[in-house]
Amino acid sequence: MLHCRANPSGRCEVLSLSDHPVFNSTYRAFLFDMDGTVLTSIAAAERVWTTWAMRHGVDVESFLPTIHGARAIDTIRRLGLPGVDAEAEAAWITEAEIDDVDGVFEVAGAAKFLRSLPARQWAIVTSAPRELALRRMAAAGIPEPEVMVTAEDVTVGKPDPAGYRLAARRLGVEPGQCLVFEDATVGILAAEAAGADLMIVTATHEQPIETLHGTLVDYDLVRVQVDAAGLRLHAD
């Protein structure tokens, strides 16, 4: 995966991991998306959504790429299916996903990395409902944070920045003092709109991404320095 900076010609100039500006910055907090960022639940989620899509006559192949990073209710509403109760269908999706955590596992090094962070300096911001988020984190061995923003905490999901702004506020910092770890387009847009710096986690990406943001394959490649000034990311 590529991260780059624009050179004078406007082309993408590829940077090594430790050259990216996020490694020269100190942050008051780290904010993490969940699915695809600290754990992967793609197989389980796609099993459930495939069943749902087939039941509603939705083309599975074109539909599945649209589910990642968004709240279930927003995904269903976006389809505009006649006669469909989005709240009831989203509740069905949630229960089915809670029951199916087969193949849910951490992104390499995520649990250890999260445990190295001070409790009041990190949060998870997920489009999943709280019960589902806790179920998946337990299945993957991800520690439960003191601060977690879930689907129930916002009226509008990603790409709206409300979730990241709320997490920063609960930690007592400004979004611009945070580094967000994200994987999906809607989450990346939400973090950008919130005014935070970004590290894009590419562990579940099937195609390379060209971006001005930092990119990270997994957490075995980084460590964090904690001091009175805040959190500083280092490449191993």
Comparing CA positions, the residue from 146, 112, 144 lying closest to residue 131 is: 144
* Active-site entry in 19, 35, 74, 220: 35
Task: Please report the DSSP string for 66-81 in residue order.
Answer: GSTTS-HHHHHHHHT-
The residue type at 38:
V
* Active-site entry in 19, 33, 99, 160: 33
**Beta strands 26-27 and 230-235: pairing type?**
antiparallel
Q: Return the ∠ at Cα 98 (arms to 62 and 79), rounded to 5°.
A: 30
Active site residue 35: yes
Residues with catalytic roles = 33, 35
